[in-house]
Chains A and B, each alone.
Chain A
Amino acid sequence: MSANLSPIFAALADPTRRRIFERLSKRPLTVVKLAAGLPVSRPAVSQHLKVLSDSGLVSAEQCGRCRVYRIEPKAIRAARDYLDRMWDDALVAFKNLVEQESEHERQRTRP
């Protein structure tokens, strides 16, 4: 479940991208809001966001007419998806066994 981290570090090698990532780690933001606090143009911010998205550090979601950018907790998502499936499988197997054994018990103790 481990991710390849090289593109992540390449993406963060740029100081502006580090600032963008740092700000997104506090809260999700639109390009407009991100650009407002940075000494670079809006197209430049978009370009940096593309590099961050390609590396898997950041994801974007369409929210009305704007795109909202947030940091992407990949490892959490991978783990959660796996555990979600695992507990589905486990509980179904558990139910099958407990009901089968309960039925045997009931038949055995029936007067």
Chain B
Amino acid sequence: MSVSEPVRKQIVVAASRQRAFEVFTDRIDAWWPRSHHIGKSPLARAVLEARVGGRWFSLCEDGSECDIGKVLEWEPPRRVLLAWQVNADWQYDPGFVTEVEVRFVELGPRETRVELEHRNLDRYGVRESEVRNSIGSPGGWPGILQCYADLVAAAEAP
């Protein structure tokens, strides 16, 4: 398996499709694990705004907000497509987008399969490809040195 294959998960829940969708989206705060949080201050509330373009963010205990991503497609109760915009440095990056598709498949009146796919993970390798591209480009080695100088400067910044 390639390391940039999507992360795929599925789970069957004893609830109607409508309810499964509502709890996943509107009530994300009630189930999102507190251990998975990007802010410096502990997570007070997780929010997913129920519309296309809606923000997905965390409210921290110190009052700050940490963006996670946004809603790309909103098709209740069948499907939602989210953008996960947390980069390899564990920071929100508006220019960085990976997709999380969540599908709700009705198995019965009180049984739903939730299928989740987190894809475009190859975008986490952009640093490697930057290195690769600058080797092949006309700028070549100077490009790499610049990249290195930027990183050293960034590492030494307070």
Q: Is the CB of B33 within 8 A of A89?
A: yes
Q: Smallest Cβ distance from A107 to chain B, in angstroms?
A: 13
Q: Report B-chain residues with C-beta under 8 Å of the C-beta of A25.
A: 132
Q: Smallest Cβ distance from A50 to chain B, in angstroms?
A: 19
Q: Does A69 contact B (CB under 8 A)?
A: no
Q: Report A-chain residues with C-beta under 8 Å of the C-beta of B36.
A: 86, 89-90
Closest to B19 in A: A102
**Interface size in chain A (residues, C-beta < 8 A):** 40
Checking A75, A101, A102 against B110 with a beta-carbon cut-off of 8 angstroms, the contacting residue is A102
**B→A interface (CB under 8 Å):** 3-5, 7, 9, 11, 13-16, 19-20, 23-24, 27, 30-33, 35-36, 84, 88-90, 110, 114, 116, 118, 121-122, 124-128, 131-132, 135-136, 141, 144, 148, 151
Checking A93, A101, A105 against B32 with a beta-carbon cut-off of 8 angstroms, the contacting residue is A93
Q: How far does the alpha carbon of A5 sit from the alpha carbon of B151 in the complex, in Å?
A: 8
Q: Does A1 contact B (CB under 8 A)?
A: yes
Q: Other than the known A73-B4, A88-B9, A91-B11, what 17 A-B pairs have Cβ atoms closer than 8 Å? A: A1-B88, A1-B89, A1-B90, A8-B131, A18-B135, A22-B132, A25-B132, A71-B132, A74-B128, A76-B3, A76-B124, A79-B121, A80-B4, A80-B5, A87-B9, A95-B11, A103-B14
Q: Report A-chain residues with C-beta under 8 Å of the C-beta of B88.
A: 1-2, 75, 78-79
Q: Is the interface of A mostly helix, strand, loop or mixed?
A: helix
Q: Report A-chain residues with C-beta under 8 Å of the C-beta of B151.
A: 5
Q: Smallest Cβ distance from B119 to chain A, in angstroms?
A: 10
* A-B residue pairs in contact (CB < 8 Å), sample of 20: A5-B127, A9-B144, A21-B132, A22-B135, A22-B136, A71-B128, A73-B122, A74-B128, A76-B121, A76-B122, A80-B121, A84-B7, A87-B9, A89-B35, A92-B11, A94-B13, A98-B13, A98-B24, A101-B19, A105-B19
Q: Report A-chain residues with C-beta under 8 Å of the C-beta of B9.
A: 87-88, 91
Closest to B124 in A: A79
Q: How far does the alpha carbon of A83 sit from the alpha carbon of B131 in the complex, in Å?
A: 24
Closest to A15 in B: B141
Q: How far does the alpha carbon of A108 sit from the alpha carbon of B110 in the complex, in Å?
A: 15
Q: Is the CB of B125 within 8 A of A73?
A: yes
Interface string of A59-87 (1 = CB under 8 A from B): 00000000000010111111110011011
